[in-house]
Amino acid sequence: MNPTLAEVTRQLLQVYGRYPRKRLGQHFLTDPQVVQRIIQAAELSKDDLLVEIGSGLGVVTTELAKAAYQVIAIEIDKELLRISRDILKDFNNVSFVGQDILKTDLHELVLGRRYKIIGNLPYYITAPIVEQILKAADKPEVAVIMVQKEVAERMVATPGTKKYGSFSIFTQFYAEVEINSFVSKSSFHPWPEVGSAVVTLKPHKTPKYKVKDEKLFFDIMHAAFQQRRKMLRSPLSEYNLEEAGLDLTRRPETLSIEEFIKLAGAAKP
């Protein structure tokens, strides 16, 4: 009888004398059903170049390598990098990049090729990684990422809901975003303190929203949400928005992306 992913993970940690590092947000996925859901969500095929964010112990990377044409695994932890190289030494379609994903140029990495991304993201740097993916010069066809449940809910939130905010707008401005499934704490070793979710991001191939000044749009949106409980006229007073044609007594969380675009178009900083 073959050992389970959880058993393999525990054995590897014991053999290599390694403990998950809290400061790096390391929680190793051990549920094979979740791994398969991720592979299906990415629609991985033998034609695909895949960038994996965090190879960990190489256990999940092994399954990805079986499904994809080529895997480029990015891992910042030198010890885990050594372990995953060892575990995957018999795979000729896996290469490793030993550095921080936030310091990795995806454009240089994929060299203009079509690619997909899969990653179990450290919760404490989820937002900057998502920003890097969605603003990359060469965007992936799809990114399937594991994130904290609450963060996933913020990403898909709609106007008028409690979790709708600047991160919701940023994500939806650049991509179609969908929660694929929720994942229980018991699917990881060690168990995280919070639940997780698998999120699918499909970057817009051409801009979905027409904005004259993208920086101004995001400046106004961020300024509004810094005081989300106040009427728009208060945090946005410097932009002279009287001609925007919107009720400035509304609160930021009630505005759609299109309405923020309208504010940006009428702004006179």
Domains of the chain: 5-203 (3.40.50.150), 214-266 (1.10.8.100)
**What pLDDT is stored for residue 264 in this prediction?**
94
Q: Is the pLDDT of residue 58 over 80?
A: yes
Residue 54 labelled as part of a binding site: yes
Among 48-62, 195-209, 225-239, the range scoring the smallest mean pLDDT is 225-239
Residue 177: pLDDT band (50, 70, 90) is very high
What pLDDT, in 10s, does the model give residues 157-166?
A: 999 999 999 9
Tell me: pLDDT of 269 over 80.
Answer: no
Mean model confidence pLDDT for the chain: 94
DSSP secondary structure string for all residues of 205-256: SS-SS--S-HHHHHHHHHHHHHTTTS-TTTTTGGG--GGG-S-TTS-GGG--
Predicted pLDDT at 87: 95
- The answer to whether 2 is a known ligand-binding residue is no
* Whether pLDDT at 1 is above 70: no
pLDDT, residue 19, reads 77
Rounded mean pLDDT, 249-258: 96
> How does residue 97 score in pLDDT terms, banded at 50, 70 and 90?
very high
29 is in an annotated binding site: yes
pLDDT for 32 equals 94
DSSP-assigned beta bridge partners for residue 51: 72, 117
Rounded to 5°, angle at Cα 204 from 198 and 205: 130
DSSP state of 26: -
Residue 114 pLDDT greater than 80, yes or no: yes
Instruction: Determine the pLDDT at residue 220.
Output: 96
At residue 176, φ and ψ (nearest 5 deg) are: -80, 125
At residue 24, the pLDDT reads 67
Report whether 75 belongs to an annotated binding site: yes
Which pLDDT score, from 0 to 100, does residue 4 have?
87
Helix (H) or strand (E) holding 28: strand 28-29
What pLDDT was estimated at residue 267? 87
